[in-house]
Amino acid sequence: MARRETPEINAGSMADIAFLLLIFFLVTTTMNVDSGISKKLSEKPPADYVPPVIKEKNIFEVNINRNNELLVEGERMDVKQLKEAAVKFIDNGGGDGKLVDGVSTGPCDYCEGEKSIASSDHPNKAIISVQSDRGTDYGTYIIVQNELLSAYTELRNKLSQKRHGKSYTQLEKEYKDNKTNTKLKEEVEAIKSAYPQIISDAEPTSAN
């Protein structure tokens, strides 16, 4: 009786299939990318640059010490209260309309703040100065920055809702989906100009 040979499986095609599957998964797989806070670093000024004189009342000082404690305008504050305090400062609109060096300080006809003469003149003059310590936790710094950005978002959403019947977030999304629409572009830029994000990072203090 003749001995039956065991048939062999051609593994060459299997290697080709595995290679094609590997390429498929590499092309179609998406990877999560951690997003941070969008910050534009200021350029180094020229040697003959003379910084403008800024009124003290137009500066909102936020300090984070090495113990991750928050001090706003020299007073201790819970981070949950920071957004509300920032909104109050930015939207104060206390300018009297007088010209200073040829530039008007107000009044702000869309601001809904207290119009206090002791606080900021106008949203485009309201500067938020953030100073941390080299010993401050990065997470705490991010939380503080997020609260400040949320203050601007709230004010922009409110003004956009009043002018256009929709939030600034929605308005911006519509523009991103249709960047050829000049009307949407003008509306987005007008809201951004009304409440420009002016957040300055001061040189961190050194922990001992």
Q: DSSP labels for the chain? A: -PPPPPPPP--HHHHHHHHHHHHHHHHH------------PPPPPPTT--PPP--GGGEEEEEE-TT--EEETTEE--HHHHHHHHHHHHT-------EETTEE----SS--S---TTS-S-TTT-EEEEE-BTTS-HHHHHHHHHHHHHHHHHHHHHHHHHHHSS-HHHHHHHHHH-TT-HHHHHHHHHHHHHS---EEEPPPBPP-
The tens digit of pLDDT for each residue in 83-129 reads 999 999 999 998 865 555 555 555 788 999 999 999 999 999 999 99
User: Does residue 79 form part of some domain?
Assistant: yes
Q: How many domains does the chain have?
A: 1
User: Does residue 66 form part of some domain?
Assistant: yes
The tens digit of pLDDT for each residue in 151-174 reads 999 999 999 999 999 999 999 999
- Is 36's pLDDT higher than 60? no
Confidence of residue 31 (pLDDT cuts 50, 70, 90): low
User: Does residue 158 form part of some domain?
Assistant: no
Q: Which residues span the domain enclosing 142?
A: 59-151+197-201
Question: pTM of the predicted model, to two decimals?
Answer: 0.75
User: Does residue 120 form part of some domain?
Assistant: yes
